[in-house]
Amino acid sequence: MSDTLVNVTDLNVHFGTSHVLQDVSVSLGTGRTVGVVGESGSGKSTLAKALVGVVPASGGEIWVDGLDVRLATRRELAQYRRRIQMIPQDPFSSLSPRRTIAQTLAEAIEPGRGRVRPYQDRIAHWLERVGLDASMMHRYPHEFSGGQRQRIAIARGLIIDPSFVIADEITSALDVSVQAQVLELLADIRESLGLTMMFISHNLAVVQHVSDDVVVLYRGVVVEAGPVAQIFSSPQHWYTKALLEADPGSPGFTLDAPAA
Ligand SMILES: Nc1ncnc2c1ncn2[C@@H]1O[C@H](COP(=O)(O)OP(=O)(O)OP(=O)(O)O)[C@@H](O)[C@H]1O
Ligand SMILES: [Mg+2]
């Protein structure tokens, strides 16, 4: 058994009167990846934001990397957010258009200083690690394709050697063929670095590639959880079965409980 890095117990989140997460429990060992799946609005991003401490919980416990996130001081949270990384869905809006890639990666290493030179080798290494040419570091985001920008976002997330990574729908904005390449890259890096990661997607097939365990969220409730192989070979809950059969990538995709 590996050490537990993330332990969420009976987490509840309300937005006003709506109960967005209900008694959600997730635990994650060091070096493991948990996939979180569920259709749009099921609460996946809310779970991620609660883990980072930007969405307040109304009940339950959140422990990450030895920190009680709900009870942490402002200062502890600031330090904590330097040890964990969120890789965003849309790298175009999260990469500053006025910074070169090198400046963006340097900013991740040393916020607020704007120094590139001391980190040039490290930046070059990471660009190559995500399949880009090191000489591209002096270019701007608009000079890259969507898939390349997502690779840059992955490099930015990993260059600080985070103890925990949250990837929230990082391939959903990409073409299917590019998606597969980015997933393969992430699976490869995860393996070689032993990343501890929460991988969020509405697509169960996508989650399968990079996860050890899967948590299925339906309307803010965990309806099924377990090792990937088990979820795929013998899903127990109707919603998991429907996710396996449906194409959740299609517009307007929604699943409703069968009539009792
Ligand atoms: N800041 C907020 N204030 C009020 N309601 C919110 C807020 N953020 C999210 N919600 C609601 O909480 C529910 C869960 O949203 P969340 O973004 O976590 O879903 P998701 O599973 O990430 O969906 P998607 O696949 O579309 O990203 C939705 O009903 C959403 O409308
Ligand atoms: Mg979301």
Report which protein residue has its CA nearest ligand 1's atom 13: 41
Is residue 44 lining ligand 1, measured as CB closer than 6 Å?
Answer: yes
CA–CA separation, 184 vs 179, rounded Å? 9
Six-digit token string for 214: 């899967």
Look at residue 173 and tell me if it is in a domain: yes
Give percent above pLDDT 70 in the chain.
94
pLDDT tens figures, 132-142? 999 999 999 99
pTM: 0.91
In a domain, 63, yes or no: yes
Alpha carbons within 13 angstroms on the beta-carbon side of residue 170 total: 35
Q: Which atom of ligand 1 is nearest to the CA of 202?
A: 25
Q: Is 151 in the pocket of ligand 1 (CB under 6 A)?
A: no
Average pLDDT, integer, range 198-210: 90
pLDDT at position 250 is 44
Query: For position 31, which CATH number holds?
Result: 3.40.50.300
Q: Is residue 27 part of a domain?
A: yes
Whether 128 is covered by a domain: the verdict is: no
pLDDT tens per residue across span 85-118: 999 887 777 799 999 999 999 999 998 888 999 9
Residue 31 placed within a domain: yes
Residue 136 included in any domain: no
The pLDDT-based confidence of 260 (bands split at 50, 70, 90) is very low
DSSP 119: G
Residue 70: CB atoms within 10 Å = 15
Q: Mean pLDDT for the chain?
A: 91
Predicted confidence at residue 194, as pLDDT, reads 92
User: How many domains does one find in the chain?
Assistant: 1
- Domain hosting 176: range is 4-89+165-245
Q: What is the mean pLDDT of residues 55-68?
A: 96
Can you give the pLDDT at residue 176? 84
| 155-186 residue pLDDT tens | 999 999 999 999 999 988 888 888 889 999 99
Q: Which of 175, 130, 195 has the alpha carbon at shortest distance from 156? A: 130
Checking if the pLDDT of 198 tops 90, the result is yes
Question: For residue 183, how far is its CA from the centre of ligand 1 (angstroms)?
Answer: 24
Work out the widest C-alpha separation in the chain, in whole angstroms. 64
228 part of a folded domain: yes
> Could you tell me if residue 151 is left (phi over 0), alpha (psi between -120 and 50 degrees) or otherwise beta?
alpha
Q: How far apart are the CA of 40 and the centre of ligand 2, in A?
A: 7
Asked if 50 contacts 248 with a C-beta cutoff of 8 angstroms, the reply is no
Give residue 60's pLDDT.
Answer: 98
Which stretch, 176-190, 197-211, 214-228, has highest mean pLDDT?
Answer: 214-228
pLDDT given at position 251: 42
Residue 202 lies in a domain: yes
Closest CA to 91 of 80, 83, 99: 99
Q: How far is the CA of 1 from the centre of ligand 2 (A)?
A: 31
